[in-house]
Amino acid sequence: NLVRAAMGVEEGSGYLSNQATQMALVETVIQAAIDNGIYVIVDWHDHNAQNHKTQAIDFFKQIAQKYGASPNIIYETFNEPLQVDWASVVKPYHVDVVAAIRAIDSKNVIVLGTPTWSQDVDVAANNPVSGSNLCYTLHYYAATHKQSLRDKTTAALNTKACIFVTEYGTVSADGNGGVDSTSAQEWWTFLENNK
């Protein structure tokens, strides 16, 4: 069993505006997951995390110090990078955030967001971040993302990269329309065959 605790980041009502309140909320979810024997993905839910790296490092250091000894913790350091370059923007961000976490927690899984709303897993896998227990984030919505995204995922898997789906839907990426049962089943079969 697994739950994703998304730390909303953007100014207005997120971590950047009210760190103490937002930290208390996410810690409530983390502690409940631990108390119930459930894995918890602690997600820095940001599309522009490269602009908030200092805050992300501070956040993950706090989480690692308080909860890193628990095997329930999974870190997700960058929800969905937009259409930005992996090598010059996203990877350097991950290198720094991973280093901050690993200085405290050497074991728990860290999931790394990939460009284009966490769909360019092949690009990341071909220029990986060094370290252990690192996975690359894949997000898909069955009515929007079809075989071409599965092909990109297969290419990443062929490099022996770890791919972790932290978000998906059975409808279109914009949340509209009906459930695409056929595509959803194709995705579930693909994931089952590649676990």
Give tens-digit pLDDT for 113-134. Answer: 999 999 999 999 999 999 999 9
Query: Active site residue: 11, 27, 76, 80, which one?
Result: 80
76 is catalytic: no
- Orientation angle between helical segments 181-193 and 147-157, nearest 10 degrees: 10
End-to-end CA distance of the chain: 16
pLDDT score of 175: 87
- pLDDT(42) > 80: yes
- pLDDT(11) > 80: no
pLDDT score of 13: 82
80 is catalytic: yes
Residue ranges making up the domain that contains 89 = 2-193
> What tokens appear for 188 in the block?
């579930």
- pLDDT(21) > 90: yes
Put simply, whether the predicted model's pTM sits higher than 0.85 gets the answer yes
Q: What one-letter code names the amino acid at 178?
A: G
> What tokens appear for 103 in the block?
């200085």
Q: What's the average model confidence in pLDDT over 21-33?
A: 97
Query: Active site residue: 10, 11, 27, 167, which one?
Result: 167
Mean pLDDT of the chain: 96
- The domain spanning residue 140 has which CATH number? 3.20.20.80
Q: What's the average model confidence in pLDDT over 82-97?
A: 98
pLDDT score of 12: 79
The total number of structural domains in the chain stands at 1
pLDDT score of 177: 86
Contacts of 191 (CB under 8 A, 6+ apart): 165
Helices (H), 43-146: 53-67, 91-102, 115-118, 121-125
The number of helices, as runs of H, and strands, as runs of E, in the chain is: 7, 6
